[in-house]
Amino acid sequence: MTDDQLALTDPTKRFSHITPQRQQQSVPGQDARLNPSPDHGEESYRGTERLTGRKALITGGDSGIGAAVAIAFAREGADVALNYLPSEQVDADHVADIVRAEGRIAELIPGDIRERDFCAELVSQAAEALGGLDIVVNNAGHQIFTEDLEDLDDEQFDRTMKTNLYAMHWITRAALPHLQPGSTVINTTSVQAYKPSPILVDYATTKAGINGFTKGLAMQLAPRGIRVNAVAPGPIWTVLQVTDGQPQDKIEHFGENTALGRMGQPVELAPAYVFLASPESSYVVGETLNVNGGLPTP
């Protein structure tokens, strides 16, 4: 944050209240076309050398929360490898420009993480380009709303499971041989893990699964000096919401049900990932850090 923003700031007013118009995009969408533009921290995130020399792989690092994490990590001194789908090159280039302007490496590795072989290649290419790996952020996600279970076909169910759960398993497993003690794995779950929407049954199932995966794996890897944690965002203004993540009529008032009364911006997630990646959180293991504007969770 800039000095102005570090001053006493009312969280209900840190960002102006936005009421986006209807705007449809097809999956995975382009952040560059989102209106209004989200804040990924391009101007607002200020680093304080908390990740100097670290080497991070971030999935879904082209846009939304992943883009904010990539920018913050670079400002904190880390090199990053970003994965995304090939159609998202414009967004990935935008993030890479900012990372490189910090003098950090941005290795761009497009490809589909629903494929196991690609997940293995992704990890080895990232480790090769960065000279190792010590942070893995499993952040890519697929979310399409479906009103009725009868309409939730196997193709969508499979896509949601593959993207949100299988890829997390494949990427983390492939990364393990690279992860020295002190390394961290951070998974993106969701408030949906605790408060599933009736129209997001498959998605909410994966997000609850991510919490289980995170806690179980955290117990397994802690003795090896590797910490595993998760971040659970609430309603955040990203392209996920306009690519059928929500019905269009929900977008305008998205986030108004939070205690802060507004949706969050991607940059507001970044400090949670920085905290969990850095040694400052050395005693935090198997935790899910909620960043949701005030939607109390268990």
- Active site members: 203
271 lies in the site for ligand NAD, by CB under 6 A:
no
Q: Which is nearer to ligand NAD, 19 or 48 (CB)?
A: 19
163 lies in the site for ligand NAD, by CB under 6 A:
yes
Q: Which is nearer to ligand NAD, 140 or 282 (CB)?
A: 140
CB of 166 to Mg ion, least distance (A): 19
Binding letters toward ligand NAD, positions 24-43, x by CB under 6 A: ----xx-x------------
Q: Which is nearer to Mg ion, 28 or 47 (CB)?
A: 28
268 lies in the site for ligand NAD, by CB under 6 A:
no
Q: Which is nearer to Mg ion, 246 or 288 (CB)?
A: 246
293 lies in the site for ligand NAD, by CB under 6 A:
no
CB of 23 to Mg ion, least distance (A): 15
Distance linking the first and last C-alpha atoms of the chain: 30
CB of 274 to Mg ion, least distance (A): 21
Name the residues that contact ligand NAD, by CB under 6 A: 28-29, 31, 59-60, 62-66, 83-85, 88, 112-114, 139-143, 163, 188, 190, 233, 235-236, 238-241
